[in-house]
Each structure stands twice: as C-alpha cells, then as structure tokens.
Chains A and B, each alone.
Chain A
C-alpha cells in the first residue's frame, strides 16, 4: 500500500497561465485532507482558476477528502469562477465520486489529456 503524496511542480502544455496540475497518490483521508486543502487554496490564491487533480495513483478516498474537493469548487466560485477536473482510474475511487454525487459538480476523466482538454474548452 503506497502512502500519500502530493506534488504540484508539473507543467501543463499549451494552455493559459491560470491552469494548475496537482498529482496525488496513495490514500486520501482525514489525516492528509488538510495538506490537500492547503495546496488547493494556495493554487487559487496564486491566481489559478482551472485546476486539474490527477488522482490516477489514488487507491482510497474518504468523505473528508471528497469534502475538500467540494469546498474547492465553492472557493473557485467565490474567487470569481473556475473549474476543477479530476483524473481517476481506480474503479472504487470513481465509485465514491458517483455515490457522493460529486461527479455532478466536478468532471471526472480517465486521462490527464481529457481533463486538460475539458478545462481548456471551459474557457
């Protein structure tokens, strides 16, 4: 079982400067949710309005981490508007997005390219 990690030093090609790509892996729970919230809030404070979260290597997500993502959508709205897209491959993690209904406010994609394309079109 791989422990939690998060990184944001990734370049997104051919898109405007308001994109941010954060890559996470491992288990997203109440213990690490504050770190996730801090990174996402930091990205919004830095002027990023289109956020891509690559959760391809995430094997577990709980309601507190889901709550952080939902809260990020609200913070983007409060900052004048923006979009959040996630990349998700793990079947059970995708299922949690569906059960909680979060897939109705955050677009869930199977590849990073799809997520970036979707947010590029979101303008």
Chain B
C-alpha cells in the first residue's frame, strides 16, 4: 500500500486521500470507502453498494482518466447529515460509455452500475479533468 493520505473515518466528517492511479490501489479505495461508510452508520447492505459504486468510479479514473503530475488521483468523502458523498477526481476527459450496448459487451457497464447502487451520481467535466460524485443517503 502506497497511498499517501491519512484518514480516521471514526472521527472525521470529511476526508481526503491521494491514491496512485494503479490497479493495485483499488482495494485501498474500497477499504477507505468501507471504513467511512461503517463509521457513518450505513447498513451493511447499503455499505456494500456504496463500496462497489466507489470501486467503479475509481476504476474508471484509473482506467480512462489521467493522473496528476505526481501520478495521483484525488479521492474524498464528506458526511453531511444523512448523506455520504464520495468524489474521485482525475485529470482526464471522461469517456461517456455506450449505455445501450449489447448485453454481452465486455465494457461500458460502470456508470449504469453506479447509478443503480447509490442515490445520486454526478459528473463534473471541465477542461482540467473529471470529477465523479456518488451519494448514498442514510435512511
């Protein structure tokens, strides 16, 4: 594990993590999200969905995005009342998936999967990069 951020999910309402844009860091991103979701009080079922959605967003950043000049992508989580919001920012241009591709296509499912797992998905695309925000509401 070479993530450079420090976080304490139990004591913080918000957290940031810089992560090397590599496949091997996906498990780190999942643990980051899982720890925070547990501390926030999401039910295990909702926490699982949140973590999977986070995994999809970070995978997209690693796969299609561009890291910053230090090879990093930027992760953050904010807990606000009953809403837990994760964001991942990379320096790349978001590649819009083909949403109506064939069912046996080998790619293009990530965004649809995110949308089915969390309450809100936001994409912010600007000249400097792409931010994907995922929110899960605590019942």
Chain A residues engaging chain B, CB cutoff 8 angstroms: 27, 29-31, 60, 62-64, 66-68, 70-71, 73-74, 92, 96, 99-102, 104-105
Known: A30-B26, A30-B59, A100-B113. A67 touches B107 (CB 8 A): yes
15 pairs across A/B with beta carbons < 8 Å? Answer: A29-B23, A29-B26, A30-B59, A60-B55, A63-B59, A63-B107, A64-B107, A64-B110, A66-B109, A67-B105, A67-B106, A70-B104, A70-B106, A99-B113, A102-B103
Tell me if A31 and B27 are in contact (CB < 8 A): yes
Closest CB-CB distance, B94 to chain A, in whole Å?
16
- Taking CB atoms, residues of chain B closer than 8 Å to A29 are 23, 26-27, 55, 59
Tell me if A30 and B62 are in contact (CB < 8 A): yes
Bound CA span A73–B27, Å: 27
Q: Which of A27, A62, A101 contacts B103 (CB 8 A)?
A: A101
User: Size range of the interface on B?
Assistant: 20 to 34
Most B Cβ at <10 Å: residue of A31, A66, A68, A105: A31
- Taking CB atoms, residues of chain B closer than 8 Å to A62 are 52, 55-56, 59, 113
- Among residues of A, the one whose C-beta sits closest to the C-beta of B116 is A99
Tell me if A74 and B52 are in contact (CB < 8 A): no
Bound CA span A60–B48, Å: 9
Tell me if A64 and B27 are in contact (CB < 8 A): no
Tell me if B110 and A74 are in contact (CB < 8 A): no
Tell me if B59 and A64 are in contact (CB < 8 A): yes
